Amino acid sequence: MSASVAMTEGPLPALRGRVQAGAALGPATWFRVGGAADWLVRPADVDDLLRLLRRATLPITVIGAASNLIVRDDGVRGIVLRLARGFGDVEVEGDGVVAGAAALDAVVAEHAAAASLSGLEFLSGIPGSIGGAVAMNAGAYGAEVAGVLDWAEIATVDGLLRVRAADLRLSYRRSQLPPGGVVVRARFHAVPGDAGAIAARMVEIRESREATQPVRARTGGSTFANPPGHKAWALIDAAGCRGRVLGGAQVSEKHCNFLLNTGDATAADLEDLGEAVRAAVLAHSGVSLDWEIRRIGERA
């Protein structure tokens, strides 16, 4: 059972945001699996976050929209940090958009479209929030964050830093954040465009996702990163894993780089099925797949 508590100095500093002990994390994830956090903290604002980073004595694990995340069944020790209210503002400028880390990618795309700004349509096809998109250089439909990011503001124990995109050394599904850094805001450049063409592109992306991905299932987005020169789904399909089942977990028949919770999966079912797929692909093609889904916490 979780409980909201007013924190005094101790394992956590006194904060103005929401602090919960023993908070269930599974219901907040797209897979709907996983255990509890020792502490779930949602800071009120940047100052609250900086206080936490400077004074907490427990390890901190950052999560975002939990769209690409497996929380293991025995939960997460220490502090789970999730940015929510106070970090979701979206501001449209003449040649770009500034968005808080908790703003959903699709919402940022919609704000840009409403202002007839082009170049951010691809964000409408990425489930998740801006903080995670920057941290993993998210991409889809021929574009990625590295191509549109100007800067990110990152909270660290040394204060709030504004880091240029070039200094984050963005690469395929990776960035190099300062140690212990938490993305709180980012700016993306865009260019004036035709409102009709922008809207049509976003409809095209939405329809493509609906047609090719199990978007209405309990899933977690792309399971594995595409290896150089390969598509992960094609390697999985060639290894005979489409539709493969383990416990309550299944490899999607519709898009076999997606894992599904068919109703009663545990986090262990999902992770073990993913590892079985990796082993099958390695045996069949000699290619080692890297997880794109984050896995946090302890196995039961």
- The catalytic site residues sit at 173, 222, 292
SS (H, E, C) 142-155: CEEHHHCEEEEEEE
E strands, the chain, in order: 3-4, 18-24, 36-42, 60-63, 69-71, 76-82, 90-93, 96-100, 117-118, 139-140, 143-144, 149-156, 159-164, 182-189, 191-192, 218-219, 245-246, 249-251, 259-261, 294-296
Q: Which residue, among 262, 254, 208, has the nearest Cα to 233 in the 3D structure? A: 254
| Mode of pairing for the β-strands spanning 117-118 and 191-192 | antiparallel
Is residue 88 within 8 A of residue 42, CB to CB? The reply is: no
Q: 23: helix, coil or strand?
A: strand
Q: Is 229 exposed, middle or buried (0-12, 13-18, 19+ CB in 10 A)?
A: exposed
Q: For every residue of 79-114, which 3-state class applies, written as one string?
A: EEEECECECCCEEEECCEEEEECCCEHHHHHHHHHH
Q: How far apart are CA 166 and CA 152, in angstroms?
A: 10
Largest distance between two CA atoms of the chain? 56
Rg (CA), the chain: 19
Q: Taking the CB of residue 147, how many other CB atoms lie within 10 A of it?
A: 15
| H/E stretch holding 200 | helix 195-212
Supply φ then ψ for residue 295, to 5 degrees: -125, 125
